[in-house]
Amino acid sequence: MGCYSFDTIFRTLQLGHPESVEASSSLYAPRMWTQLEVGKETYPRASMIRWHFGARGDMPPVAVNWYDGGLLPFRPDELEDAGLHREGLLFIGDKGKILADFTGNDPRLIPQSKMAAFTPPPKTIPRSIGHHEEWIAACRGGRPAGAEFGFSALVTRALLLGNVALRIRRKLLWDGPNMKVTNVPEANKYIHCAYREPWKL
């Protein structure tokens, strides 16, 4: 599900490779088979993961947080209605907060009084014509689809790095261009696979 939520975050905040990632979790789910070691083939019931991204042009460093398994961030004081969605995005800035659904749709300033007084800026991010239409247009030689491999791979790598942090249980420093954890060498065994001969990638 992170690929859906992080799509909006990566586009809006112009994110690239994270500089670091750290994670914590609840106990792991029960073993599916008794011979499996907990944590190798199972998953935690709930987790929190934090990615740190450096400055991008005139945009300052930013932290991105993930909660799952029923965990939620603390309820913002500005939220006046019944509460947070069961899933969604909460952007916290220096001048306010924006709440949206998990794909970034239906964004709103909180509290509602700020939303009522808000005048939207000009639209600068291209709007999608639809998943299928984008794919067909790209196949016909048009511009790449919004979820083209170059962009989606960057998002997916960041998410999967969070899984490595859950498994290693230490803060990981990430060298994105070289696809390498620099401070915990044993984490790199989860970054690159050893393929069975004669298969190669």
Residue 32 lies in a domain: yes
Could you give the residue ranges of the DSSP H alpha helices within the chain?
2-13, 112-116, 131-139, 149-168
Distance CA 34, CA 88 (A): 36
> How many structural domains does the chain have?
1
**Model confidence band, residue 84 (pLDDT cutoffs 50, 70, 90):** low
Does residue 83 belong to any structural domain of this protein? yes
Q: What's the distance, CA 105 to chain centroid?
A: 16
Determine the Cα–Cα distance for residues 38 and 42; give it in Å rounded to an integer.
Answer: 6
Which of 40-49, 50-59, 112-121, 190-199: highest mean pLDDT? 50-59
Per-residue pLDDT at 24:
93
Residue 66 falls inside a structural domain: yes
Question: Of 158, 151, 155, whose CA–CA distance to 49 is shortest?
Answer: 158
- The CATH number of whichever domain residue 12 belongs to comes to 3.30.360
Instruction: Provide the pLDDT confidence category of residue 139 given band limits of 50, 70 and 90.
Output: very high
Tell whether 7 is covered by a domain: yes
Query: Where in the sequence is the domain holding 125, given as residue range(s)?
Result: 2-190
pLDDT at site 43: 77
194 or 144: which carries more pLDDT confidence?
A: 144
Is 22 inside any structural domain? yes
Residue 178 to residues 73, 181, 192, Cα–Cα distance (Å)? 33, 9, 12
Assessment of whether the complete model's pTM goes beyond 0.85: no
Residue 148 has pLDDT above 80, yes or no: yes
pLDDT at 32: 46
The answer to whether residue 88 scores a pLDDT higher than 90 is no
Identify any residues that bridge with 108 across adjacent strands, giving them in sequence order: 99
Which pLDDT tens digit goes with each residue over 32-60? 444 445 456 677 889 999 999 999 999 99
